Amino acid sequence: MPQMNDAALSREFLLLRRLAGVAALWLAIGTHVPLAWAQALESPVSQAAAPVYRRPAALLEERVTDLLARMTMAEKLAQLHSGLLTTHRTASRIEALQRGAVNQTRLGIPILFFDAVDNGFRGHADRRVTAFPQAIALASSWDPGLVQEVYGIHARDLRARGGGLLLGPALDVSRDPRHGRVELSFGEDPYFVAEMGVAAVTGLQGPGVAGSLPPGKVLAAVQHLAGPGPSDEGAGPVPVSERELREVYLPPFEAVVKRTGIQAIAASRNEIDGVPSHASKWLLRDILRQEWQFGGAVLADQGGVNELQSLHHVATSVADASRLALEAGIDVDMSDGHAHRKLTNAVREGRVSSARIDEAVSRILRLKFRAGLFEQPFAEHLAAGTLHRRSSSRTALIAAQRSVILLKNDGALPLALAATGERQPKIAVFSKMAVMEGIRSRVRGRAEVAFMKDLRVARTADHIVVVIGEHGQTGRDQEQRLLDSLRTLGKPIVIVLVSGRPHAGVKIAEQANALVAAWGLGEQGGRAIADVLFGDINPGGKLPVTLPRSVGQSPLFYNVKPSAQRGYLFDTTEALYPFGWGLSYSAFELSPPRLSAASIGLDGSVEVSVDVRNSSQRAGDETIQLYIRDKLSSVTRPVKELKGFQRVSLAPGEQRSVTFLLNSHSLAMWDDSMRRVVEPGEFDIMTGPNSIQLQSAKLTVLGEVQK
């Protein structure tokens, strides 16, 4: 065993003992502990008499049934509270723990180690892994293929560290930038979040919808069912109604359940109309399992079980919270099992059925079998330490480049560099960190780059680049003062927003000659931004959220119902920049949409084609977006809904035809009896480069209204 200090050793020992079900066993039936412990440790599984659950060739369900039948209640409970552990440990300790679980417990059930995707693991990380753009930045690429690739690397990195499950991606639909951590979401649109979610899960787990994980893949656990956005502290109450939930917040989860092999879903910590998700049978059983036929495991969010007692006060004690959560459908408590460890008494007193325990344990075992842990419980390639740094970094760079959004440009960008022999332009840069580095290493003697410590530097500069948001909210006043004084110089100002949240203000947008939104771009962010500023990369990102002009417009999102946005006195309902917005150094011409059929049946589908032409002298990317509006419906429908998008790269002068398929799923809605139907009638089919500059065609859906 690797070296450990005493305290760590005893902690690990306790954990192992918990995992063996021994401590619980002692409490439950009063067995003499040393004896049981010794037996557990001294009976490593004999390979010769390999039981069914140890046979890789056996069917998954046979293995689960076999193993479950061998488990004591204490061992089962141990799986519920300690069957999954975080990878927030050193690699050697992860390995030691796994070795203990595999070799030193009676049944040798391996631990499933998990981690959360949080800014490319940067929070707790191992320096060897790659830091990718945050979710909101990746979303800005409007490139599901890229998202899939990045999550593929997440999977490989996690697998290499002994992890088998990744908590993520977050499928929360974020409609309010005040809420939680928007940067960890894919934005405000249900369809868009669903597409990105499917891509991310596919990247993590590999393609396909069933079976075991291929090498280098991990299980995904999408989160948080269901709430308004990721948050550090857990979300506030969400008193939303059922149709709103079904139309806005649930679709990404449903899409992932139906289109990928997702095996785990984490519940949200918020309550919905008085019922916390961790205690919601309706959400976790009626919808998730019955309507969507989800067969995997439902995980608690960190603290989500405890909070049934401590925050929502729907449970009298932690033990009660644990019982409630289990009954509602939470299978595993992820907080190192603090709450689910209290289940023992509830089981003894018959307040939790053993059938429900078996059900939950089976789901955890299934995860472990699917992850291949019984065959390969240890980190892949750990010894070799091959994390493919170079290729990962390249992907991180491409991801960062494709995520940058050009919000405004009056021609100030791209910045020109001197050709040989020319006078070097002077660029004053206000940035302490990565962007400065990126610019410095990019110009290489073709421009003079000066750090702008005061206005004097700016006075003599040809170009001014100001990075906003490196210091979070605290630095904003200082940054604004700097901008105000720079503005008096009358020189073109390029502003780069690097805050993780959509925090552009009206004033900044007005003061900028060019405005670049770069979110949190990960380790290659500085270089990617420099590439965009100097035109090596033609920006093609688009906003996955609406940027409001002021907090007083909140919530501001594009897919509103027709009765929203009557208007304000002395202000506008217009966004600072709308959903889907993003410019390019190129110019594109988009044709109106052409439909393959002017009318279709209720179950029919239609192809929508758009010609897009790069009418400029530069190669560049455009993302063609497809929106629909159901013009007359039994319940109100949004004024537009995204139903398709494609990012295409076009050489100067190149024209291409882009085709979308709209089917009955795209046109469906939840009618006045809460059935999902397509209602006959007219639909506006709208295409364009963002959510406001749209051209329209009319589609008629023929059929009878379902009674």
Partner 1 sequence: MTRKVRWGRRNAIKYLAGLSAYAGAALALPGLAAVAAGPTGEAVPYKDASLPLHLRVQDLLSRMTLEEKIAQLIALWATKAEIMADATSEFSDSKTSQAYPAGIGQITRPSDRRGAPVIAEKRWRTSQETIRFINDIQRWAATRTRLGIPVLFHEEALHGYMAPDATMFPAAIAMSGSFDLDLVREVNSVIGREMRAHGSHLALSPVVDIARDPRWGRIEETFGEDPYLCSEMGVAAVTGLQGNGRTLGPGKVFATLKHMTGHGQPQSGQNVGPAPIGVRELRENFFPPFREVVARTGISSVMPSYNEIDGVASHANKWLLGGVLRGEWKFDGVVVSDYNAVEQLHTLHHVVADFPAAAIKAIESGVDGELPDGTAFRNLADLVRGGRISAGLIDTACARMLSLKFRAGLFENPYADIDAARALTGNAEARALALRAAQRSICLLKNDGTLPLAAGKHRRVAVIGPNAAVARLGGYSSEPKHAVSLLEGVQARLAGKAEVVHVQGEVITRSEDRSADEVLLADPAKNRQLILEAVALAKTADVILLAIGDTEQTSREGYAANHLGDRTSLDLLGEQNALLDALHALAKPLVVLAINGRPPSYPNAVAKANALLECWYAGQEGGTAMAGVLFGDVNPGAKLPVSVARDAGQIPLYYNAKAAPGIGPRAPASRNPSPLFPFGFGLSYTRFEISAPRLSAHTIRTTGSVVVEVDVRNTGPRTGDEVVQLYVHDPVASVARPLKQLKGFARVTLAPGEQRKVSLTLDARALALWNAEMKEVVEPGLFHIMVGPNSRDLKQATLEVI
Please, what is the Cα angle at 136 between 131 and 141, to 5 degrees? 85
Closer residue to partner 1, CB minimum distance, 159 or 246: 246
Our finding on whether 554 is near partner 1 (CB under 8 A) is yes
Count of positions on this chain that bind partner 1 (CB under 8 A): 57
Our finding on whether 635 is near partner 1 (CB under 8 A) is yes
Closer residue to partner 1, CB minimum distance, 414 or 548: 548
Contact range with partner 1 by CB under 8 A, out of 111-119, 209-217, 614-622, 633-641: 633-641
Our finding on whether 451 is near partner 1 (CB under 8 A) is no
The residue from 140, 231, 277, 623 that contacts partner 1 (CB under 8 A) is 231
Contact range with partner 1 by CB under 8 A, out of 51-59, 140-148, 228-236, 594-602: 228-236
Contact range with partner 1 by CB under 8 A, out of 65-73, 218-226, 380-388, 553-561: 553-561
- Give residue for tokens 């929508």: 608
Closer residue to partner 1, CB minimum distance, 657 or 673: 673
Beta-carbon count within 10 A of 391 CB: 11
Length of the chain: 707
Closer residue to partner 1, CB minimum distance, 316 or 659: 316
Least CB distance to partner 1 at residue 399 (A): 32
The residue from 4, 58, 60, 275 that contacts partner 1 (CB under 8 A) is 275
User: Pattern 134-173, binding to partner 1, x per CB under 8 A?
Assistant: ----------------------------------------
What is the spatial distance between Cα 367 and Cα 470, in angstroms, rounded to a whole number?
Answer: 40
Pairing of strands 112-116, 165-170: parallel
What does each C-alpha distance from 681 to 514, 599, 662 come to in angstroms?
44, 9, 15
**Residue type (1 letter), 545:** V
- Give residue for tokens 């990718």: 132
What is the spatial distance between Cα 482 and Cα 477, in angstroms, rounded to a whole number?
Answer: 9
The residue from 276, 414, 492, 582 that contacts partner 1 (CB under 8 A) is 276
Our finding on whether 381 is near partner 1 (CB under 8 A) is no
Q: Which of 316, 371, 396 is nearest to 120 (CA)?
A: 396
Our finding on whether 237 is near partner 1 (CB under 8 A) is yes
Contact (Cβ atoms closer than 8 angstroms) between residue 610 and residue 591 = yes
What is the spatial distance between Cα 385 and Cα 366, in angstroms, rounded to a whole number?
Answer: 29
Hey, which residues between 561 and 620 contact partner 1 (CB under 8 A)?
561-571, 573
User: Pattern 177-196, binding to partner 1, x per CB under 8 A?
Assistant: -x------------------
Instruction: List the structure tokens of 160.
Output: 């290499």
What is the spatial distance between Cα 412 and Cα 7, in angstroms, rounded to a whole number?
Answer: 60
What is the spatial distance between Cα 174 and Cα 542, in angstroms, rounded to a whole number?
Answer: 16
Our finding on whether 335 is near partner 1 (CB under 8 A) is no
C-alpha neighbours within 13 Å on the C-beta side of residue 253: 32
What is the spatial distance between Cα 598 and Cα 68, in angstroms, rounded to a whole number?
Answer: 57
Hey, which residues between 672 and 701 contact partner 1 (CB under 8 A)?
672
Our finding on whether 632 is near partner 1 (CB under 8 A) is yes
Contact range with partner 1 by CB under 8 A, out of 190-198, 411-419, 524-532, 625-633: 625-633
C-alpha neighbours within 13 Å on the C-beta side of residue 6: 0
The residue from 313, 394, 459, 507 that contacts partner 1 (CB under 8 A) is 313
**End-to-end CA distance of the chain, in Å?**
68
Contact (Cβ atoms closer than 8 angstroms) between residue 204 and residue 152 = yes
What is the spatial distance between Cα 668 and Cα 634, in angstroms, rounded to a whole number?
Answer: 12
The residue from 62, 273, 375, 589 that contacts partner 1 (CB under 8 A) is 273
Closer residue to partner 1, CB minimum distance, 234 or 261: 234
Q: Which residues of the shown chain bind partner 1 in the complex (CB under 8 A)?
A: 178, 231, 233-237, 239-244, 247, 270-276, 281, 311-316, 550-556, 560-571, 573, 631-637, 670, 672
